[in-house]
């Protein structure tokens, strides 16, 4: 194992969304290399305050320390018959060895959700479990991590010599299916899975993500591993309190016509409590998944809508079998 397998990229030159400077173009090339060769990289200089990140982790840990009945106030109908939500919310650890809380765009109101009538655009009443200050912090974090993710996506668009602002065609805030998730791994008494490849005990199964990018903060317990696509060997993603971990997903693989492949990753069974906070950067539900999007100045507005693409992708995850 070597820590150098996962590159660390300082993206401060991209934060102001000026992609024309020499330093920005150099950074974009580093991102391209990492996406092609590994599918994972860490970013520093991302503009998110460390205190803000620690506060989000504190909010997450506090939530998971609530009683089961309290947490289930935010559960989908499958785990709380009183609720109408099917996609967003809390799922218990007897589902797949870990607890989770899925939060969509906090700008979505009950009225907007009802009017949109989309299976993934759900209003989640966070007031049931969080105070006003925590909700404001979650809202701010969602905003900041969303903007960071879009900056990374714009850098990929820039690689193709296209106008970075065409990202607006793929992402519209109230339509986006992006998810802020809290994963909480309790003291697992047994692993979720034993890897068929190398016999290693896992706390989270081997998988790839569905969206464009996943931007993750993992706590110092670590445990996240990424697979080398050529050798099939596994490498640790080292903990860096100043860095966010980024990986490519199936939607980016599709839009890039296989140039940026979604990469297998997993979490080791470590028998101790662990929190991770991934942000799944997902396009608007009605975005047409056209392979010409990143490869032509003439985007043909055809193809499967992202809602259906995501629906197919989620079928392999036990926690989404609802």
Rounded CA-CA distance 126/106 in Å is: 9
CA 262: distance to chain centroid? 13
Q: Is 273 exposed, middle or buried (0-12, 13-18, 19+ CB in 10 A)?
A: middle
At 263-280, the pLDDT tens digits run 888 877 676 778 889 999
For 229-264, what is each residue's pLDDT tens digit? Answer: 888 888 888 888 899 999 999 999 999 999 999 988
Torsion (CA) 28, 181, 250, 222 in degrees, nearest 10 = 70
**CATH number of domain containing 54:** 2.60.120.330
- What does the pLDDT read at residue 94? 73
Binning the chain into helix, strand and coil, the percentages to the nearest 5 are 35, 20, 45
Structure confidence at residue 191 as a pLDDT band (50, 70, 90): low
Tokens of residue 114, six digits: 């009802």
pLDDT of residue 275: 86
Count how many domains the chain has: 1
Q: What is the DSSP string of 145-198?
A: HHHHHHHHHHHHHHHTTS-GGGHHHH--TTTB--EEEEEEE---SS-SEE-TTT
Domain that holds residue 40: 3-9+16-320
3-state SS, residue 80: coil
DSSP single-letter state for residue 117: -
Angle between helices 132-159 and 50-64 (to 10 degrees): 120
pTM: 0.91
φ/ψ of residue 242, rounded to 5: -95, -5
> Could you report the per-residue pLDDT of 98-144, keeping only the tens digit for each?
788 999 999 999 999 999 988 889 999 999 999 999 999 999 999 99
């Amino acid at each position: 194992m070597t820590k150098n397998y996962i590159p660390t990229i300082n993206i401060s030159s991209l934060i102001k969304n000026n992609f024309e400077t020499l330093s920005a173009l150099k950074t974009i090339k580093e991102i391209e290399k990492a996406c092609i060769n590994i599918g994972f990289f860490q970013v520093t200089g991302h503009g998110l305050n460390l205190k803000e990140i620690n506060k989000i982790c504190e909010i997450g840990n506090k939530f998971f320390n609530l009683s089961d009945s309290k947490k289930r106030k935010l559960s989908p109908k499958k785990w709380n018959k009183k609720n109408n939500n099917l996609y967003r919310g809390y799922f218990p650890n007897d589902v797949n060895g870990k607890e989770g809380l899925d939060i969509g765009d906090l700008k979505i109101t009950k009225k907007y959700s009802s009017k949109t009538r989309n299976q993934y655009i759900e209003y989640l009443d966070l007031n049931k479990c969080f105070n006003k200050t925590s909700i404001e912090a979650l809202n701010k974090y969602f905003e900041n991590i969303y903007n960071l993710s879009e900056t990374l996506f714009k850098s990929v668009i820039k690689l193709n010599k296209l106008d970075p602002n065409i990202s607006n065609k793929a992402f519209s805030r109230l339509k986006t299916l992006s998810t802020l998730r809290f994963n909480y791994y309790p003291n697992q008494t047994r692993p979720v899975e034993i890897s068929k490849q190398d016999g290693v005990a896992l706390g989270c199964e081997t998988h790839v993500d569905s969206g464009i990018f996943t931007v993750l903060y993992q706590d110092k317990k670590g445990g996240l591993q990424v697979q080398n696509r050529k050798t099939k060997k596994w490498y640790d993603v080292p903990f860096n309190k100043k860095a966010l971990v980024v990986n490519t997903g199936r939607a980016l693989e599709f839009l890039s016509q296989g140039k940026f492949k979604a990469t297998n990753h997993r979490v080791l069974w470590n028998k101790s409590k662990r929190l991770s906070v991934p942000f799944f950067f997902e396009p608007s539900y009605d975005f047409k998944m056209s392979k010409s999007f990143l490869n032509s100045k003439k985007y043909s507005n055809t193809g499967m809508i992202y809602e259906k693409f995501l629906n197919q992708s989620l079928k392999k995850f036990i926690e989404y079998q609802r």
